Amino acid sequence: MKIELLYFDGCPSWQAGLQNLKSALQLEGIKAEVNLVNVQDDADAIRLEFLGSPSFRVNNVELWTETRETFALSCRVYPTSEGMKGWPTVEMLREKLHTLDKLVA
């Protein structure tokens, strides 16, 4: 399983997103390395179709898809049960991993 967290250095939220992702993987019993993808500039953002930091991809599938025509270095927000946050909760990540697992099976 290929797991990526896409981010840029100026984002204040990617490290919390990484910790929640690691917790979700552990709780799901998924032993996989998380590959950090540092998006350097707008050219990288366009090439990677970067939706904002942090973004999460499993086997090249974006966990929170968006239809977008432009891509740039930006922060991303997620609607959580506690309001808008800069990263998804552990529970949100677990749900996405479950859904993805069912699609692959």
pLDDT of residue 78 exceeding 90, the answer is yes
C-alpha to C-alpha distance for 90 and 40, rounded to whole angstroms: 27
C-alpha to C-alpha distance for 59 and 57, rounded to whole angstroms: 6
C-alpha to C-alpha distance for 33 and 60, rounded to whole angstroms: 14
Which domain CATH number covers 25?
3.40.30
Residues 6+ apart with CB under 8 A from 67: none
Average pLDDT over residues 89-98: 94
Average pLDDT over residues 18-31: 95
Average pLDDT over residues 27-36: 94
Q: How many domains does the chain have?
A: 1
Residue 58 near residue 34, CB atoms below 8 Å: no
Domain encompassing residue 79: 3-104
User: pTM, whole model, 2 decimals?
Assistant: 0.92
